[in-house]
Structure 1
């Protein structure tokens, strides 16, 4: 079927020209605001936000008010804006994430009971690591991360697991999209790739927390269809010094391997059909 003159005109420009022609400045301002707030754990005042975006307050005021009214951002008593969990909730309405969380929660509860530690389930999303499920330790004290919290991709054990088992193309894409979170340590690329090789060799990551003294993070991969690593389960291990018998790191490693293997099977991974898909 022949194209009309109007259709020919629409297809004749370069991709850059079409991008300008179909630009939505208001939408872009709104997305800039959300992205800026997502990268700041402490949030911004209106003036600070305008400065971070390189705009003046009048340019973003109406957009900020609209985002607040729709529940995407919130302001505290000091008029400092932060993201709400609305975007996280929208993302979790996707069936794959709902299925993963639904399958994982009973096993996370079992892991917590057996290890006597808190644990959480993390995925890669938008250049960072996001906590999508968490279970507290059954002990009278616990250390855990809130659901919806974002963590660094390059300086956490969960991030290392999620990066280590990707092929070179996917790993490059993830790193090129990487957005640093507040407090994330700068990781030398050579050091990072050495760590990722160690994770692949051992089958998991075990490292002292870079953020919290006294915590040892133990993270294992969760595999889906075709053996692809889709998530990581992490136990932020806190050692007791009062002599009470509790599973040690070696024992927790065995428990985690069991839990992650069972969760992988629940979401479609067939170990008997899988070949060694570990990237070089």
Structure 2
């Protein structure tokens, strides 16, 4: 008899799993557990910390971590701390809807940055997170922007508020229940959040001081598609100049964003006349 592990039959796999799970892939489950755990930390985990977070031993995790690193999904620094790479984001961007949205939006985002003299970015809600899928720097000598692939809070950012505000009650509940909080995201009282979302719908945009960076005012507008469904949010992290240089103020920028985001929504199939 060989000492190698025998291949399990489908029946054996079924009988070992909880009732209701027809087929199982334990190795795949471990790999997904690792990716999900690393998605919830910006500092990463050592192998031992990862095992503790997952409630597994090193023998269960080591080969899986090595394989994910070899395939480019995770990376290890000089202190052997594992973090996610952007490979999953890159794979997601190959999806035609996202590619189409980015390619349609980029020319107008460049126009927005030029007219507003500010950086801007485009974000969507995907897999429980708000994620930046496009970004354009200000034409000024300095600018403030977020990198493509960065994840943001859903309940404490202007982009998140816009993405929530223009959903029906069922979809909004689904988004909130699937939401994965990012590090530092503030816990918001549901009553306060829903009142804020109502205000966003009434005024047509969200505007709030950044809760992370002093001196930044975030201004976000929705991008709508057919039927008035929100597909993305455009945000300007506004930086005020104090040297007297003339440039659009916040109210003027809101007007520019109304124009740009309205045109982009029209290109995405939104008909304001029938709304």
TM-score category (smaller protein): over 0.9
Partner of 1:122: 123
Shift of 1:252: 0.5
Partner of 1:278: none
For the residue of structure 2 that corresponds to 1:90, the secondary structure is helix
Shift of 1:18: 4.1
Partner of 2:55: 54
What RMSD, in angstroms, separates the aligned Cα atoms of the two structures?
A: 1.5
Partner of 2:219: 218
Partner of 1:171: 172
Shift of 1:71: 0.6
Partner of 2:266: 265
Number of residue pairs the alignment of both structures matches: 261
For the residue of structure 2 that corresponds to 1:17, the secondary structure is coil
The one-character-per-residue Cα deviations of 1:4-56 (angstroms, maximum 9, x if unpaired) are xxxxx9xxx9x96341x411111111111111111111111111111111112
Hey, what's the Cα distance between the residues in 2 that align with 1:163 and 1:259?
A: 21
Query: What are structure 2's unaligned runs of at least 5 residues?
Result: 1-10
Hey, what's the Cα distance between the residues in 2 that align with 1:256 and 1:48?
A: 45
Hey, what's the Cα distance between the residues in 2 that align with 1:184 and 1:63?
A: 30
Partner of 2:133: 132
| Structure 1 runs (4+) greater than 2 angstroms displaced | 15-18
Shift of 1:132: 0.1
Hey, what's the Cα distance between the residues in 2 that align with 1:207 and 1:250?
A: 13
Question: What TM-score, normalized by structure 2, do the two folds share?
Answer: 0.92
Hey, what's the Cα distance between the residues in 1 that align with 2:192 and 2:272?
A: 31
Hey, what's the Cα distance between the residues in 1 that align with 2:259 and 2:49?
A: 48
Partner of 1:5: none
The one-character-per-residue Cα deviations of 1:154-189 (angstroms, maximum 9, x if unpaired) are 110000000001000000000000101111111111
Hey, what's the Cα distance between the residues in 1 that align with 2:167 and 2:191?
A: 17
Partner of 1:237: 238
Question: What TM-score, normalized by structure 1, do the two folds share?
Answer: 0.91
